[in-house]
Structure 1
Amino acid sequence: MELLIKIVKRIFWGICLVLSILVICINIQLHSDNFNKSETEKDILKQLNYLKYELNENNLGNKMQAIFPEGYLFSNALYGLAWCELGISDTSKAVKTIALREAINAYQSINSDEAKSVFNPSMTPQYGIFYLGWNNYLLSKILLLNPDFKNNDKYKKIFIEQCYVITDELKKNKSPFLESYPTQSWPADMCVAMASIRNHDKLFYPKYDTIISDWVAKVKTKLDPKTKLIPHKVNPDSGEAIEGTRGSSISLILRFLSEIDTSFANEQYQLYKENFISTTFGLPSINEYPNGNSGNGDIDSGPVLFGVGFAGTIVSIGTLSVFGDCEQADKQYKTVNAFGFCTKTQNSKKYLLGQLPITDAFIAWSRSSGLNYRPDEKFNYSILWPIKFHLISLFTLIIIWSFYYWKNIYKKIKWSQ
């Protein structure tokens, strides 16, 4: 019996030690990665090196497809988009060349039969607006990165045709949100598609300006009645909200809406700040449900802990940046970076010990999205910004070890009396 008690005490001591190390590491990591813009680009490059290896050598797309409904497409599309954003931001010809090559490879991957196999080819538009939207948006970013690369005419032709398909179907549809899957519509997917339409007008001439304006006007009539924000899920026929606004989707929606209509995006962003931007234990976070509401996590949001949605929080790094809240975006990144337990080598960087690389893809894209909006120099906010979390962590450690040594503490208190 005495031996069993010793073993239990050893196990409990080990648990306390591991928890303490994790808490200390998180607190230290909150003050790391104090990068200027150039250093941020190099750090993102390390993330992309890791993702490239996983995609090419470890079958990342198929592994993520086994976990998420759109895992293959997301893994490749986000990888390609992160390269595009990095290439657009970086002045180095070498980086731009690599970015173009990798983005085209990613585009070819999402056009493979393997990528299309999970989508319905009989839909209108074919494969649904989720697939076509991300496909066309990646293609638009490739052309914005370099509109004059070799064989660009083939890609321009595809892009122009797909823009026509999207807008033509939109004209026929009563709802401003085309179907992602049969009888199912998510506004976030439509926003991706419309951002690609806006990029058409940046690349060529303002052909779709009226269609975009009409679309925005329609969307304004289909807002979530509670938050006045674009809803999470809608009726595919009427466009009316089925599920109200959620942090995971509105963080993504705003990232694309900023490219579609600046004025409407700014209005929505202010409401987003009121309803979703928050702090948890003193650290910045994005609530999955509007203030005053609660709910569970799902495949869209990822885990929801203390009301915080993981997907929305990660995507917000880019969203906050494009709306000018770059310091807040940096703090949000530092928080994600700390809790993601990143590991680095000289040439690569990964999160969560490489167990869920699609998370790395979202982080890389979100960070690269903000490159053209952040200042060149390092941020200069107070080192005490996470002080509340530090104090909570200290109190937690005291509680943990007090519980372990409670007998010794009790004896000392009794002896002192």
Structure 2
Amino acid sequence: MKNYLNTFFKWATRSFFIFLLMILVVFNFRFYQQPDFVRDESGVWNEDVYEQLQFLKQSLQAGADDEMQGLFPEGHLFIHALYGLIAADFASATNADTFGNGFMEYEDLPEGVALRELDWACDEINSTKGKQVFTEGLPLPYGVFYRGWQNYLLAKQINQRNGSQRNIADFQRNADEIAAAFNQAPSPWLESYSESAWPADNVVAIASLAAYDRYFHTTRFAATISTWLEKVKQQLDPATGLIPHATDPDTGAIREGARGSSQSLILSFLPEIDPVFAAAQYALYREHFLAFRLGRAGIREYPKGQEGSGDIDSGPVIWDIGGAASVVGQRAAGMNGDGELFADLRGSQQAFGFAFSWNGKRRYLFGKLPIADAFIGWANAVHQRENQFLRGPAPWRIHFISVLLGIVFCWLVYKI
């Protein structure tokens, strides 16, 4: 019996180290993984992003929105907004007229499924449950966070669906109310909550006005946007030259300077508002927040020379690199034409996020934090064409460390 137990223990231990060795190999190959693309009657689409949509759909049906609301102040809205934006970006890569004109024979294709999910996400955000945590009695009712994301997603829905008269009327009314609030505000920063303003939320709202003018070929909000930009340029963070993280809504005074998490979000929308200003801000963003660890790119949560801990906005901060800043930074890189950084960050997320697909559903971090899957899916949705982004640089330092660990594991398997 004793010999049997010893033999069992040896083989169990060997199996454990062999398993670790396999994980190490897969981990290193993940840095080079490119998304798969599929061609069907409606066009070419990113299969990885579609599988992420399917996982999020399953998670939301199982109550992930309530779970995320319990973890984050805006969890319900954020996960539905991101889910809808992933669906919109996914569908936009295909033949838009196929669905905009209502050809029902295509409704069961992945692109048609995505558009139905976009409609559902909009309904969830517009529901009583979607707005219940926001304050109606603000100068802009429910605050600029809620109204900005609501209107921006509605813009995407109208653009993909060609818009019903009701949706277009809602979009115009929302945009008019947002513009009026900005025109009357003493600073460029409207409140998200009472006495609290976050510039990133305002950028999303302004992007929804820019979307209106772009989709309908008008200059209805050009003056509002231009005035807002001039005010913003006069109230940049003096330490970095970037849009600040938090401000006083009445005076515009900076309460907290630029941070990586908000900069990544801001720069995912700013190119749609003013490409020239966005390019200048993006250059400063790279200067102050781009860092490398073990040869891989990451986005700092705090500017170079500053240190800080993680919070509800940043997620985990490890070795000065922000989790949210780097995930959303991938989208910011793609939106600003920085293909090299996009590929570098994407490769790291595939590896460190332990990405895998099972039964047509793709998840990260074992699917334990759906809001992270939503942000990663939104970042990946920028990749809409094959060879749009090349593979990131080889992480030789990580490979070297992995080889050393692999040698140790092999030696242990041999010696046990």
Change in 2 beyond 3 A, CA 1:9/1:179: farther
Tell me how far apart the structure 2 counterparts of residues 10 and 100 of structure 1 sit (CA, whole Å): 51
Contact 1:103 1:142 in 2 (8 A): yes
Give the equivalent residue in structure 1 for 2:162.
Answer: 147
Counterpart pick for 1:86 among 86, 90, 97 = 90
Matched residue SS, 1:285:
strand
Tell me how far apart the structure 1 counterparts of residues 12 and 245 of structure 2 sit (CA, whole Å): 45
> Displacement, 1:96?
4.2
Give the equivalent residue in structure 1 for 2:68.
Answer: 64
Give the equivalent residue in structure 1 for 2:140.
Answer: 125
Tell me how far apart the structure 1 counterparts of residues 344 and 199 of structure 2 sit (CA, whole Å): 28
> Displacement, 1:279?
1.4
**Superposed counterparts of 1:309-320, under 5 Å:** 309-320=322-333
Change in 2 beyond 3 A, CA 1:242/1:34: same
Give the equivalent residue in structure 1 for 2:386.
Answer: 376
Tell me how far apart the structure 2 counterparts of residues 376 and 21 of structure 1 sit (CA, whole Å): 29
Give the equivalent residue in structure 2 for 1:183.
Answer: 195
Give the equivalent residue in structure 1 for 2:29.
Answer: 28
Tell me how far apart the structure 1 counterparts of residues 255 and 10 of structure 2 sit (CA, whole Å): 52
Matched AA of 1:28? F
User: Does residue 236 of the first structure (1) align with residue 249 of the second (2)?
Assistant: yes
> Displacement, 1:290?
0.8
User: Does residue 220 of the first structure (1) align with residue 242 of the second (2)?
Assistant: no
> Displacement, 1:111?
1.2
Contact 2:302 2:320 in 1 (8 A): yes
Counterpart pick for 1:341 among 314, 336, 354 = 354
> Displacement, 1:401?
8.7
Return the TM-score normalized by structure 2.
Answer: 0.87
Structure 1 window deviating more from structure 2 (39-48 vs 359-368): it is 39-48
> Displacement, 1:121?
1.6
User: Does residue 353 of the first structure (1) align with residue 366 of the second (2)?
Assistant: yes
Counterpart pick for 2:222 among 195, 200, 209 = 209
Matched AA of 1:82? I
Tell me how far apart the structure 2 counterparts of residues 311 and 299 of structure 1 sit (CA, whole Å): 10
Give the equivalent residue in structure 2 for 1:136.
Answer: 151
Tell me how far apart the structure 1 counterparts of residues 314 and 38 of structure 2 sit (CA, whole Å): 29
Counterpart pick for 1:386 among 380, 388, 395 = 395
> Displacement, 1:400?
8.3
Contact 1:77 1:134 in 2 (8 A): yes
How many residue pairs were aligned?
A: 392
> Displacement, 1:97?
3.0
User: Does residue 159 of the first structure (1) align with residue 171 of the second (2)?
Assistant: yes
> Displacement, 1:22?
4.5
**Superposed counterparts of 1:213-362, under 5 Å:** 213-362=226-375
Matched residue SS, 2:205:
helix
Change in 2 beyond 3 A, CA 1:385/1:167: same
Structure 2, gaps ≥5 residues long: 1-5, 99-105
**Deviation readout 1:85-137 (Å, 9 max, x if unpaired):** 11111237334433322111101001111121111122221111000100000
Tell me how far apart the structure 2 counterparts of residues 266 and 134 of structure 1 sit (CA, whole Å): 23
Matched residue SS, 2:291:
strand
Tell me how far apart the structure 1 counterparts of residues 389 and 112 of structure 2 sit (CA, whole Å): 29
> Displacement, 1:21?
5.2
Change in 2 beyond 3 A, CA 1:215/1:311: same
Sequence identity (%)? 37
Change in 2 beyond 3 A, CA 1:292/1:23: farther
Tell me how far apart the structure 1 counterparts of residues 261 and 66 of structure 2 sit (CA, whole Å): 23
Over aligned residue pairs, what C-alpha RMSD do you find? Answer: 2.7
Return the TM-score normalized by structure 1.
Answer: 0.87
Tell me how far apart the structure 2 counterparts of residues 301 and 17 of structure 1 sit (CA, whole Å): 36
Tell me how far apart the structure 1 counterparts of residues 45 and 317 of structure 2 sit (CA, whole Å): 28
**Deviation readout 1:220-261 (Å, 9 max, x if unpaired):** 011111000001111111112111111100000011111111
> Displacement, 1:210?
1.3
Tell me how far apart the structure 1 counterparts of residues 285 and 338 of structure 2 sit (CA, whole Å): 13
